[in-house]
Chains A and B, each alone.
Chain A
Amino acid sequence: MSALSLANTQPTLAQLVAPPSQTDGVPVATERCLRILGAELINSASLLLSLPQVASSTAQVLFQRFFFCASFRDNSVLRIASACLFLSTKLEECPRKPRDLINVFNFLCQLRRGHTPTILDVDFPKYTAIKNDMMDGEMHLLAKLGFNVHVQHPHGFMINYLQSLDLTSNKELMQRAWNYLNDSGRTLAVVLFQPPTIAAASIYMAANDVGEPLPLSPPWWEVFDAPLEDLQTIEALLRTMYATKVPKSLPLEEPIQVAATR
Chain B
Amino acid sequence: MKSRWADAGDSDASDDGGRGPQGGGARGDRAKAQAPRSKRRRGPSADAGASDGTASDQAAHMGDVRDGSPAGTPEPAASAATAVAAAQPVQRPPPLVPFIRPCRSVDNYEKLNRIEEGSYGIVYRARDRATGEIVALKKLKLQNETNGFPVTTLREIHTLLMAKHPHIVDVREIVVTPSLSGIFIVMEYLDHDLKSLMEDMPSPFLLSEIKTLMHQLLSAVASLHRNWIIHRDLKTSNLLMNNRGRIKVADFGLARRYGSPLGPITQLVVTLWYRAPELLLGATTYTTAIDMWSVGCIFGELVNKEPLLPGRGELDQLSRIFKLLGTPSEATWPGFMDLPLAKTVHFKQLPANNLRTTFPYLPEDGLDLMAKLLTYDPQQRITAEEALRHPFFTNNPLPKNPDLFPSFPSKAAGERRHKIPVPEAPHAHQDLPAGSLFDNQPAENGAGFRLRV
A contacts, CB < 8 Å to B: 1-13, 15, 65, 68-69, 86-87, 90-91, 93, 95, 98, 134-135, 138-140, 142-150, 191, 194
- Contact in complex: B174, A4 (CB < 8 Å): yes
Report how far A102 CA is from B56 CA in the complex, Å.
44
Residue contacts A-B, CB under 8 angstroms, 24 given: A3-B98, A3-B174, A6-B162, A7-B97, A7-B98, A8-B97, A9-B99, A9-B101, A11-B99, A11-B100, A12-B61, A12-B100, A65-B100, A93-B256, A138-B149, A139-B149, A140-B180, A142-B149, A143-B103, A145-B100, A146-B103, A146-B174, A148-B100, A148-B101
B172 A2 Cβ-Cβ under 8 A: yes
Task: Report whether B154 and A91 are in contact in the complex, using a CB–CB cutoff of 8 Å.
Answer: yes
Give the residues in chain B near A91, CB-CB below 8 Å. 154, 158
Picked from B56, B61, B154, B172, the residue with its CB within 8 Å of the CB of A90 is B154
B49 at the interface (CB under 8 A from A): no
Residue of A nearest to B96 (CB): A1
Roughly how many angstroms separate A148 CA and B102 CA in the complex, as a whole number? 9
Q: B151 an interface residue at 8 Å Cβ cutoff?
A: yes
Q: A86-B148, A146-B100, A149-B154 are in contact. List 17 more A-B contacts (CB 8 A).
A: A1-B25, A2-B25, A2-B172, A4-B173, A7-B98, A9-B99, A15-B100, A65-B100, A87-B149, A87-B154, A138-B148, A138-B149, A139-B180, A143-B180, A145-B100, A146-B102, A146-B173
Q: Nearest Cβ in chain A — how far from B442, in angstroms?
A: 86
Q: Is the interface of A mostly helix, strand, loop or mixed?
A: loop
Contact, CB under 8 Å: A95 / B151: yes
Q: Let me know if A1 and B98 touch, CB within 8 A.
A: yes
CA–CA, A209 and B148, complex, Å: 44
Which residues from B are CB-within-8-Å of A1? 24-25, 28, 56, 58, 96, 98
Q: How far is the CA of A98 from the CA of B146 in the complex (A)?
A: 9
Name the distance in Å between B161's Cβ and chain A's nearest Cβ. 5
Is B97 within 8 A of A4, CB to CB?
no
Instruction: Judge whether A148 and B148 touch: CB under 8 Å.
Output: no
Q: Which of A4, A134, A149 has the most CB of B within 10 A?
A: A4
B residues in contact with A143, CB < 8 Å: 102-103, 176, 180
Q: Which chain A residue lies CB-closest to B17?
A: A2
Q: Closest chain B residue to A83 by CB distance?
A: B148
Q: Cβ of B148: which chain A residues have Cβ within 8 Å of it?
A: 86-87, 90, 98, 134-135, 138-139
Considering only residues 168-192 of chain B, those with a C-beta below 8 Å from chain A are: 171-174, 176, 180
Is the Cβ of A144 less than 8 Å from the Cβ of B102?
A: yes
**Bound Cα distance from A126 to B52, whole angstroms:** 57
Q: How far is the CB of A70 from chain B (nearest CB, A)?
A: 9
Which B residues lie within 8 Å of A150 (CB)? 158, 161
The distance in angstroms between the C-alpha atoms of A7 and B97, with both chains bound, is 7
User: Is B147's CB within 8 Å of the partner chain A?
Assistant: yes
- In the complex, what's the smallest C-beta–C-beta distance from A241 to chain B, in angstroms? 20
Residues A9 and B154 in contact, CB atoms below 8 Å apart: no
Contact for A145 among B95, B102, B162, B257, CB less than 8 A: B102
User: Could you say which of B151, B157, B180 contacts A147, with CB atoms under 8 Å apart?
Assistant: B157
Query: Which residue of B is nearest A144, CB measured?
Result: B102
Which residue of chain A has the shortest Cβ distance to B181 in the bound complex? A139
Taking a contact as CB atoms closer than 8 A, the residue among B56, B96, B161, B256 that contacts A4 in the complex is B161
A3 pairs with B102, CB closer than 8 A: no
Residues of A within 8 A of B95 (CB): 194
B97–A9 touching, CB < 8 Å: yes
A137 and B188 CA atoms in complex are apart in Å by 30
Q: Does B426 contact A (CB under 8 A)?
A: no
User: Whose C-beta in chain A lies nearest to the C-beta of B258?
Assistant: A93
State how many angstroms separate the Cβ of B18 from the closest Cβ of chain A.
12
Within 8 A of A (CB), among B2-57: 24-25, 28, 56
Supposing A2-B25, A140-B180, A146-B173 touch, asked if A10 and B99 sit within 8 A by C-beta, the answer is yes
Taken together as a complex, chains A and B put the C-alpha atoms of A3 and B172 apart, in Å, by 6
User: Which residue of A is nearest B94, CB measured?
Assistant: A194
In the complex, residue of chain B having the shortest beta-carbon distance to the beta carbon of A12: B99
CB-nearest residue of chain A relative to B145?
A: A135
* Nearest B residue to A140, CB-CB: B180
Question: How many angstroms between the C-alpha atoms of A86 and B146 in the bound complex?
Answer: 13
Q: How far is the CB of A63 from chain B (nearest CB, A)?
A: 12
What distance in Å separates the Cβ of B27 from its nearest Cβ neighbour in chain A?
10
| Complex-state Cα separation, A5 to B58, whole angstroms | 14
Interface check B389, CB cutoff 8 A: no
Q: Within the assembled complex, what's the spacing in Å between the Cα atoms of A145 and B104?
A: 10
Contact with A along B81-113 (1 / 0, CB 8 A): 000000000000001111111111000000000
Cα-based distance from A65 to B24 in the complex (angstroms): 24
Question: Does B433 sit at the interface, judged by CB under 8 A?
Answer: no
Q: How far is the CB of A139 from the nearest CB of chain B, in Å?
A: 5
Q: Is B118 an interface residue (CB 8 A)?
A: no
Determine the distance from Cα of A139 to Cα of B181 in the docked complex, in whole angstroms.
9
Distance in Å: Cβ of A98 to nearest Cβ of chain B: 7
Shortest distance between the CB of B189 and any CB in chain A (Å): 16
Given the known interface contacts A143-B103, A146-B101, the answer about A2 and B149 at a Cβ–Cβ threshold of 8 Å is no
B423 touches A (CB below 8 Å): no
Given contacts A2-B25, A142-B149, contact A147 B97 (CB under 8 A): no
Query: Which B residues touch A2, using CB under 8 A?
Result: 24-25, 172-173
Residue of B nearest to A148 (CB): B98
The answer for the CA separation of A82 and B151 in the assembled complex, in Å, is: 16
Could you give, for residues 130-169 of chain B, a 1 whenever the CB lies within 8 Å of some chain A CB and a 0 otherwise?
0000000000000000111101001001100110000000
Chain A residues near B104 (CB-CB < 8 A): 3, 146
- Chain B residue at smallest Cβ distance from A3: B173
A147 and B100 contact, Cβ closer than 8 Å, known pairs A86-B148, A90-B151, A135-B148: no
Which residues of chain A are within 8 angstroms of B158 by Cβ–Cβ distance?
A: 6, 91, 150
Query: Is B161 a contact partner of A6 (Cβ separation < 8 A)?
Result: yes
Residue pair B154, A69 in contact (C-beta under 8 Å)? no
Between A15, A139, A145, A147, the greatest number of chain B beta carbons within 10 A of the residue's beta carbon is seen for A147
